[in-house]
Amino acid sequence: MTEKIENEKLLTMYKSMVTIRLFETRVSELFAAGKLPGFIHLYIGEEAVATGVCSQLKSQDYITSTHRGHGHLIAKGGNLNQMMAELYGKRTGYCKGKGGSMHIADVDLGILGANGIVGGGPPIATGAAFGIKYQGGDGVVACFFGDAASNQGTFHEGLNLASVWKLPVIFVCENNLYGISVSQARHQNISDVADRAAAYDIPGVVVDGNDVMAVYEAAGEAIKRARAGKGPSLIECKTYRWRGHFEGDPTPYRPKSEVDAWMKKDPIPRFETALKEMGVITDAGIAAMKKEIGEKVEAAVKFSEESPWPALSEILDDVYTVGPEAV
C-alpha cells in the first residue's frame, strides 16, 4: 500500500460492497418471483472492482457502465429506491420506467448510463473525457467493460483516440472470464487483456479484481496520471461472476468446481478480515452495517412496490428535447 487509506474511506468502501451484494441478492429473489421484467445481469462476486475504482472518483467525474451495471451505479452513489423502482418499471425509477436494468443512468452523479450494447461504452467515455479536457476541467472518466468487450472494434477505437489525444479516461476491464457462455480461452488468444495497452502505448496493469484495495490503488495511479494530462490507462481486474450471464442462465458452459473455487475468493469476507486486522471494524460493527443496509434494500423494495406505474400517455415523452430546454 503506497498510501494509507483513511478509516472512514475504508468503511465507505466496505459499505459499498455490501450494499451491492445485498441489493443484487434481493434483485435475484425478486426476479425469480416474477416481480421484475426483462433481462437482469448480476454483478455478485465482482463488487471489489466497482468499489475500488469509484472510491477514487469525485462527484463530478464520469463513469460509463455496462449491461452488468448495478454495482457501478451503487458505487458511484446511485439511489437504491430509484434503482429498484426502475427495475420494477415504475414511474419513480431513475428512468421513469423507460430504461430498466440495462439503461439506468444518473447524469447528475456523472453516471452516463448502463449500456445494453457490449462495447458501447469506450467511445462514449472517450467523448466525455474530450468534453472535460475541452472545457479545461480536471475531471476523469472511468469506463467499465468486460473481457469480451475488448474484442469489439469500439474498444480499440476508443483506446486509440484517447491515447493519441491524451484524454483523461481510465479503461477498467472486468475480466470475469466469460463473454456470455464463451470462456476467455475460447474468445481471445491472450490471457491478459491488459496486454492490449501496449498497442496504444499506454500503461496496462493486471490487478486482483477481488482485492478491493489493490483495485483502489491501481485506479488511483491511473486517475492521477489522467488528471495530470498524461492520458489514459488500461486496468484489468481479474474477477468472476457468481451468477449466470443473466438471471435464469443455467450455465452449462462452466463446471461447478470452478464456481466453487471462485466463491472461496469472495471479495467481501476477504475485505472484512483485512478491516478487522486493521482494527477498522468489529464483528458487531459488520453485523450492524449489514442489518442497516438490508433494511435500506427492503425499503427500496417497498418503495418500488408502492410506486405508481408510468401513465400510458408518458410513452411519447422525452424522445426529443423540446422548447426552452433546447440549446
Q: Based on CB atoms, which residue is closest to another protein, 75 or 125? A: 125
Instruction: For residue 82, give Cα distances in angstroms to 67, 88, 95, 149, 292.
Output: 17, 10, 8, 28, 18
Q: Based on CB atoms, which residue is closest to another protein, 99 or 220? A: 99
Smallest distance, another protein to C-beta of residue 277, A = 41
Residue 115 in grid coordinates: 449500456
Smallest distance, another protein to C-beta of residue 124, A = 4
Parallel/antiparallel/unpaired status of strands 141-146 and 233-238 = unpaired
Q: How far apart are CA 284 and CA 309, in angstroms?
A: 40
Q: Based on CB atoms, which residue is closest to another protein, 165 or 295? A: 165
* Residue in this structure with the C-alpha cell 460492497, named with its chain if needed: 17
Smallest distance, another protein to C-beta of residue 106, A = 7
Write the single-letter amino acid at 6: E
* Residue in this structure with the C-alpha cell 460509463, named with its chain if needed: 64
Q: Based on CB atoms, which residue is closest to another protein, 106 or 236? A: 106
Smallest distance, another protein to C-beta of residue 18, A = 27
Q: Which residues bind another protein (CB under 8 A)?
A: 62, 64, 93-99, 103, 105-108, 112-113, 115-117, 120, 122-132, 134-135, 141, 153-154, 157-158, 160-161, 164, 317-321, 325-327
Q: Based on CB atoms, which residue is closest to another protein, 99 or 209? A: 99
Smallest distance, another protein to C-beta of residue 324, A = 10
The helix (run of H) or strand (run of E) holding residue 204 is: strand 204-208
The answer to whether 86 touches 74, Cβ cutoff 8 Å, is no
Q: How far apart are CA 184 and CA 116, in angstroms?
A: 20
